[in-house]
Amino acid sequence: MKKTVAHAFVCLFIFLLYPGTSPLPAQAADKLPQPVLISSAGQSADVAIAGMLCKKLSLQAKSQPLAKPADLQGIGTLMVVSGFSTKGLGAAGVSKEQEMERVKALLDAAREKKIRVITLHIGGKARRGGQSDDFNRLAAEASERLIVVRTGDEDQFFSSLAAGKKIPIDLVDKISDAMQPLGKIF
């Protein structure tokens, strides 16, 4: 009897220690490391707003809308701000194709260097559809967490993608509300 009870305790102990098969990646529960590199996918000016959110949260962060793989040196987390802007592309002096190549290279480099990646979509409806969604999909699929302003997910584009890829997603009502999930994960 004593043996059975001991076995039961050992089993319970092992069960409690076992990490299990959570639908979320193990990393998601952790705090994300700093410094943060904020870059764009689509060259919308929303990068500047993400920079302001990080500043308000006193995060160690720098914005480089045109970041390249070499800029990931010493970076803890890559924050991709997705959304297409023709004015932004013009301001950056790049074409849509060049921007797509840059973002792919940056995300590949982050994966190779095991740098954590999150995506912010804060531009709402104006940064959805058409050309924006190519960048939104690319960034979101490479991320371990999504923070999305709800007006950009009225058609469940991000929610469905997150559910399919088992990526945690925070839907917020306003851009400034993104500070809450950001504050939690950093």
Partner 1 sequence: MPLFPIHRIRALLLLAAAAAACLYAGKEFRKMNAPDTILPGQGVSRIRALKDYFPNLEGTRSDSAVYFLESGRPGPTVLVLGGTHPNEPAGFLAAVALVESLRVKAGRLIVVPQACQSGFTCTDPLEGYPQSYSLRSRSRLRTFRFGSRAANPVEDWPDPIIYRHFPSGQQLSGNETRNLNRAYPGKSDGTTTEKTAFAIMKLIRDEKVNLAFDLHEAAPEIPIINAIVTHEKGRELAAGALLGLELENLPYALELSPPNFHGLSHREWGDGTPAIPFLLETTNPVQGRLRGRTGASLAVDGQDRQYRLAQESGRMRITYDAGGEPLARRVGRHLRAIQAVLETYNELHPEGRVELEGIPSYEEIIRNGVGSLLQ
Cα–Cα distance measured from residue 50 to residue 83, given in angstroms and rounded to the nearest whole number? 12
Span near partner 1 by CB under 8 A; candidates 8-16, 20-28, 98-106, 173-181: 173-181
49 or 115, CB closer to partner 1?
Answer: 49
Of 164, 171, 80, 89, the closest CA to residue 124 belongs to 171
Q: Which residues contact 129 (CB under 8 A, 6 or more apart)?
A: none
From 6-14, 16-24, 109-117, 168-176, span contacting partner 1 (CB under 8 A): 168-176
Q: How far is the CB of 48 from partner 1 (least distance, A)?
A: 4
Q: Burial of 100 by CB count in 10 Å (0-12 exposed, 13-18 middle, 19+ buried)?
A: middle
136 scored as a contact of partner 1 (CB under 8 A): no
C-alpha of 177 from chain center: 16
19 to 48, contacts with partner 1 by CB under 8 A?
A: 44-46, 48
Nearer CB in complex with partner 1: 49/148: 49
d(C-alpha 155, C-alpha 169), whole Å: 15
Taking CB under 8 A as the binding criterion, the range among 3-11, 13-21, 113-121, 171-179 that sits at the site for partner 1 is 171-179
Q: Is 98 in the site for partner 1 (CB under 8 A)?
A: no
Task: Please pick, from the candidates 61, 116, 123, 135, the single residue that binds partner 1 as defined by CB under 8 A.
Answer: 123
CA pair distance 134, 126, nearest whole angstrom: 14
- Can you tell me the distance from the alpha carbon of 130 to that of 113, in angstroms, rounded to the nearest whole number? 31
Binding status of residue 181 toward partner 1 by CB under 8 A? no
State the residues that interact with partner 1 by CB under 8 A.
44-46, 48-49, 51-53, 56, 85, 87-88, 90-91, 93, 123-126, 174-176
